[in-house]
Amino acid sequence: MRTSTRARRALATLAASAVIVTGSLFTATTAYAAPLPPDNVRVVAALGDSITQASMTCSSLINCPANSWATGSSASVGSHLLRLRATAAPDNAVGYNNAVAGAASGALNAQVAKAVAQGAQYVTIEIGANDACTKTVGAMTPTATFKTNVQTALATLSKSAAAPQVFVAGIPNLQRMYELNRSSISARLAWALLGTCKSMLANPSSTKAADVQRRAAVQQRVDEYNQALVEACSAYAWCRHDGGTVAGYAFTRADISTRDYFHPSLSGQATLASLTWAKTQWVS
């Protein structure tokens, strides 16, 4: 299996007309390596934060990985793992959810190391919300640092013997999350009690210029992160980005959990699974 996988990587590299130098990146912005046939994908690993852990979608206020858009087992969500199985992948294909609630981009490479050790042949990445969701605007991760963190993680994946296909999902529009529920007393109370994403959600009722500008600054940084994700992923033929699908999606109230009024609900996880699967190597 590993020998054939390496052969596929070599053929894809030739097709992209790229030269690989040990330890370096190569550019292939318009061509993608041919993905493994679904029936060859036996190990899937999900990386990221609480969104991929499906936090706030069940009785627990922490993690509900069974409901994850990436590797969850819930039929109502229809995760990437379940969709791979449905397209002829072996029923015993396993999924590892290495995402960590609260994780920012600086923690991504450690999650990658787990995926490499697990022999993941397909890896999903969703990261960045916690780089922007800080106590203050000044505490947000600089865009250059964010991009370096993602590039480092992808470089580590490039050395994996399993030669995984990678899918990178964008960061949802955080200002949209705020605007959906800013008029809700329950939402404002939850945001205050939980201390949720203070950089965006502090003083939610305020229309003062300083608060309006603060929210705009947070969303601007998220937009920069999303562009960094595109650029980092585009440097590898085996990495596919969602093409702005998640960032551009106008979440509805039904998509948002009423436990914290910020994370995707069960329905929101299903929406994420559907939106992103349509942009994967096996569909688009």
Residue 115 has pLDDT above 60, yes or no: yes
**282 is a domain residue:** no
Q: Span 63-85, mean pLDDT? A: 96
How far apart, in whole angstroms, are the C-alpha atoms of residue 38 and residue 83? 9
Range of the domain at 122: 2-9+31-277
Residue 88 has pLDDT above 70, yes or no: no
**234 is a domain residue:** yes
Report the SS3 class of residue 118.
coil
Q: List the 43-48 sheet strands across, edge first.
A: 94-97, 43-48, 122-126, 165-169, 239-241
pLDDT of 37 reads: 72
Burial 5-15 (b: 16+ CB within 10 A, else e): beebbeebbee
**283 is a domain residue:** no
User: pTM of the predicted model, to two decimals?
Assistant: 0.87
Q: Which position has the token pair 């039929």? A: 75
**131 is a domain residue:** yes
- What rounded mean pLDDT belongs to the chain? 88
How far apart, in whole angstroms, are the C-alpha atoms of residue 79 and residue 101? 18
DSSP states along 201-257: HSSTT---HHHHHHHHHHHHHHHHHHHHHHHHHTT-TTEEE-TTHHHH----GGGB-
**106 is a domain residue:** yes
**17 is a domain residue:** no
The CATH number of the domain where 195 resides is what? 3.40.50.1110
Chain segment 123-180, per-residue pLDDT in tens: 999 999 999 999 999 999 999 999 999 999 999 999 999 999 999 999 999 999 999 9
**162 is a domain residue:** yes
Domain count, the chain: 1
